[in-house]
Amino acid sequence: MSIQTLLAVETSCDETSVAIVQAEFLTGHWQSGLPTKIRVLAHIVESQTSHVVFGGVVPEVAARDHLLKITPLAQQALLDAKISVESIDGIAVTLGPGLIGALMVGSLFAQGLATALNKPLIGINHVDAHLAPALMLQKFNPTLDVGNWLQVQTPTFPALALTVSGGHCHLSLLKSSRERVLLGFTADDACGEAFDKVAKLLGLPYPGGPLLETLALGATAITNPFKFRAILADKTNRHGFSYSGLKTQVLDAVRKQLGHPTGKIQGAGLNEDIKAAIAFAFQEAAIGQLIDRLKNALEDYEGIESIVVAGGVAANKIFRARLAEQIRLEVRFAPTSLCSDNATMIALHAFLPGMKLNSPHPFSRYQHH
């Protein structure tokens, strides 16, 4: 039995996050299999608020903010974990996808730290890492569970995996925790991005996705005058996604309500009941598309035992409820606290079997997964 400790860094967009996570392995060999237990010693996520005035993330502003925060947050993580930096066994860092300037801050910090400590450096794919909490942990509460050992519990394979966030929609077939076949992805906008942009159309501040979910609670399907298309017009596209058309439907509805067929519009002036009805209809269509893609995959691939869902949109309570109503399989969601961008998921993904440890020196030796 052995215990390995990773310091992980996530700076792909507008969250600066550092985590220190331990994993217990029965075999004593880091890469030979899944850990049996996980202990999060430090979990720090600091969301940037400076983008609110712009109504969206500004890449240069994000990079500068990461640059200011990354070192103090790493120092705080070590204090929270009550360990020395020398006791770290390796460094894990997000390599992409994401904003290039933001990624460079995290990558260069991690490379410098790995070089100074002469420790292995593990490059992580951000989209893949979203799935790691759902593959390993059934719960994680940052207030109650930091410092406690948590049993690793994996879903039943083969499984369908849905990663749905602000930048990505991926539907995959998982034969095991490390064998993944991509079935479909978004042709244009991601579901989480559509939530934020529709929220902006309705006059909600950025980030508007969670606010739109709350707004939608004020309406029901029974009396709702709005209905947006959930299913893609292209019947041959059974596993892919598209949200640009749905956004256009909402835009047209807002224009019609405002009597403003062209030019810039401000949905904040809409009646509150109308805004709630539009938010409800949009959310139903957006979630409906996700569930439709899963149903298609269940028809096309026999023997699926479970479904794994991760990413920022996985925190949506209505999505969780609809999926439970319509899919009669084991459904494993990532813990809500680990749905949005965070460094703990980066560390967890690094502990999956098959990850390669790399020299802390040249970027050319990074391994993308």
**Are 352 and 34 a contacting pair, CB within 8 Å?**
yes
- Give the model confidence (pLDDT) of 304-356 as tens digits: 999 999 999 999 999 999 999 999 899 999 999 999 999 999 999 999 876 54
Domain match, 74 and 113 both: yes
Q: Please report whether residue 196 resides in a domain.
A: yes
Q: Please report whether residue 322 resides in a domain.
A: no
Domain match, 98 and 224 both: no
**Are 240 and 233 a contacting pair, CB within 8 Å?**
no
Domain match, 102 and 198 both: no
pLDDT higher than threshold 60 for residue 30: yes
Q: Give the CATH number for residue 87.
A: 3.30.420.40
Q: Please report whether residue 17 resides in a domain.
A: yes
Domain match, 163 and 299 both: yes
* Average pLDDT of the segment spanning 5-18: 94
Domain match, 14 and 151 both: yes
Q: Please report whether residue 317 resides in a domain.
A: no
Q: Give Cα separations from 245 to 38, 184, 229, 240, 360 (angstroms).
A: 42, 18, 9, 14, 44
Q: Please report whether residue 64 resides in a domain.
A: yes
Domain match, 178 and 95 both: no
* Average pLDDT of the segment spanning 23-33: 75
pLDDT higher than threshold 80 for residue 154: yes
* pTM (2 d.p.): 0.91
Domain match, 143 and 166 both: no
pLDDT for the residue 120: 94
- Give the model confidence (pLDDT) of 187-235 as tens digits: 999 999 999 999 999 999 888 889 999 999 988 877 789 999 888 878 8
Percent share of the chain, pLDDT over 70: 92
Q: Please report whether residue 325 resides in a domain.
A: no
Pick the last residue of a domain from 304, 322, 354: 304
Q: Please report whether residue 319 resides in a domain.
A: no
Domain that holds residue 253: 159-304
Domain match, 106 and 6 both: yes
Domain match, 149 and 187 both: no
Long-range contacts of range 170-174, CB-CB < 8 Å, 24 or more positions apart? 170/127, 171/239, 171/240, 171/241, 171/293, 171/294, 171/297, 173/297, 173/301, 174/308
- Torsion 317-322-328-333 (CA) sign: negative
* Average pLDDT of the segment spanning 120-148: 95
Q: Please report whether residue 323 resides in a domain.
A: no
- The domain total for the chain is 2
Domain match, 106 and 235 both: no
Domain match, 57 and 87 both: yes
Q: What is the CA radius of gyration of the chain?
A: 21
CA 10 remoteness from chain centre: 12
**Are 94 and 66 a contacting pair, CB within 8 Å?**
no
pLDDT higher than threshold 90 for residue 51: no
Domain match, 273 and 130 both: no
- Torsion 9-313-308-169 (CA) sign: negative
pLDDT for the residue 29: 60
pLDDT: which is higher, 45 or 359: 45
